[in-house]
Copies of this chain bind each other. A is one copy, B any other.
Amino acid sequence: MPSPLDRVRIVLCAPSHPGNIGASARALQTMGLSRLVLVNPQRFPHADAAALASAATGVLEAAKVVSSLDAALEGVALAIGFTARERQFAGAVLPVREAAREALRYAGSGDVALVFGAEMSGLSNDEIARCQIIATIPAAPDARSLNLAAAVQVAAYELRVAAQGDRVWSAPAFEPATQESIAELFAHGERTLVALDFFRPSQPRRLLPRLRRLFARARLEKEEVNILRGILARIDERLERLEQTEK
C-alpha cells in the first residue's frame, strides 16, 4: 500500500559535510522515507556519506543530485523550509510537529518537500521565498542550532508519528494471574508474616494495605504468583523446622 510518506522528499541545500548526507539518508530510512534530494552538495558521493548511511544504502544511492532549489522542488505542491531563527517570512511559521501534520495532509494528494539549508548559513532569504511554510524545531532559548542531520532526524520522526496516527502500543503479553490466585497469595503472605512475627493481627498498622497496593500496581502474572507462593512455602517449612528444634 502506498504511504503518504512516499510523496515527501527531503531537500538538502548545498550540504558541506558528506557525513550529514549519509546520516540524513539513515534518518529517512529508519522513518520509512525514501526520497532524498541534494542541491549542489560540496562533496558527493563520498566515503563519509556511505559510512554514516550505514544500512540505508538504498536511500543514499537513490538520492537525486540537482543544481538548483527550483529543480529540487519540481512537481511539489507544498514546500516547508526549516529555519533555526525567526525569519522575515509572510507565511505560516509552525513548530515541526504541526508542520509534519500539514505535510502529511498535503501528501494525500500531491508531492511535499521539506527543505533544509547549508550547515553554516541555513536557508537564504531567496530559498525561503520558495517555501509556503516555515518550520522551526523547539530548542533552548540560548542554544545553538541543531546539527543538519539531527534536524532531518527530528523532522523525519515527526512525519513518521504523524503518518502512524494514534497507534496503540502494547506491552508483551504474559499470562495475568487470576483474582482468586492473587487473593490466595495475599492470604498465604499474611499467614507467613504472622508466623514470622513480622505482622500482628492485633496491631495491623498499614502493612498489609501497603503490600497489597504494591502488588496491585505490578499487576501480577500467573508465573510470578507461583514464584511468590513457592518462596512463602519455603519460609513456612523453615519456620516449622525451627519450631520443632526449639521445642
A residues adjacent to B (C-beta < 8 A): 23, 26-27, 29-32, 52, 54-56, 86-95, 97, 136-141, 143-147, 149-150, 153-154, 157, 160-161, 164, 167, 169-172, 174, 193, 196-198, 207, 210-211, 214-215, 217-221, 223-224, 227, 230-231, 234-235, 238-239, 241-242, 245-246
Contacts and interface: CB of A to CB of B under 8 A. Distances in A.
28 contacts: A26-B146, A27-B147, A27-B150, A29-B144, A30-B140, A30-B143, A30-B144, A32-B140, A54-B147, A87-B172, A88-B172, A92-B171, A93-B171, A93-B172, A138-B157, A138-B167, A139-B160, A146-B153, A154-B157, A196-B238, A198-B231, A210-B224, A214-B221, A235-B235, A238-B238, A238-B242, A241-B242, A242-B245
Contact of A171 (B29, B90, B210, B234): B90
Given A210-B224, A220-B214, A86 B30 contact: no
Contact of A143 (B29, B94, B207, B235): B29
A122 to B, nearest CB: 14
A31 B153 contact: no
Nearest to A169: B95
Given A144-B54, A242-B238, A89 B172 contact: yes
A21 B217 CA distance: 37
B161 A138 contact: yes
A170 B30 CA distance: 32
Nearest to A216: B218
A241 B143 CA distance: 59
A87 B12 CA distance: 36
A97 B215 CA distance: 27
B234 A30 contact: no
B30 A139 contact: yes
A87 B171 CA distance: 9
Given A140-B160, A214-B221, 8 more contacts: A27-B147, A138-B167, A196-B231, A196-B234, A197-B234, A198-B231, A198-B234, A211-B227
A222 to B, nearest CB: 12
A217 B136 CA distance: 22
